[in-house]
């Protein structure tokens, strides 16, 4: 059943996909403003290696999705840094002097 709110339909379709399909793909978010198109819409396209989300005439949705992706990337970088630091600390040999 389609709701009146197209953004929710798009997200329901997007979220319905198994997470493993989306997990290893690059997510691209684009925002379009058009004087020729009066309606707001969010379209989700799945390619081989990317998930493309197009926000048409919806700056607030674009800003929201962009900030979510930015925060996700920041968390991923912090986790990688922490893992590298742990790996570096565990690899260092213990040297004792007598």
Q: What is the pLDDT of residues 24-54, one digit of tens each?
A: 677 788 888 888 888 888 888 888 788 888 8
Please tell me the distance from the alpha carbon of residue 50 to that of residue 37, in angstroms, as a whole number.
Answer: 26
Q: Is 13 exposed, middle or buried (0-12, 13-18, 19+ CB in 10 A)?
A: exposed
Please tell me the distance from the alpha carbon of residue 70 to that of residue 78, in angstroms, as a whole number.
Answer: 12
pTM of the model: 0.57
Confidence of residue 23 (pLDDT cuts 50, 70, 90): low
Counting residues of the chain whose pLDDT is more than 70, the rounded percentage is: 65
Domain borders along the chain are 6-89
> Does residue 75 surpass a pLDDT of 70?
yes
């Amino acid at each position: 059943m389609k709701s009146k709110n197209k953004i929710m339909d798009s997200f329901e379709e997007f979220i319905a996909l198994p997470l493993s399909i989306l997990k290893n793909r690059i997510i691209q978010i684009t925002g379009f403003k058009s004087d020729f198109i009066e309606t707001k819409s969010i379209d989700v396209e799945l390619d081989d290696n990317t998930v493309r989300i197009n926000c048409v005439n919806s700056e607030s949705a674009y800003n929201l999705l962009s900030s979510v992706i930015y925060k996700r990337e920041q968390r991923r970088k912090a986790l990688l840094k922490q893992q590298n630091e742990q790996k570096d600390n565990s690899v260092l040999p213990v040297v004792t002097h007598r």
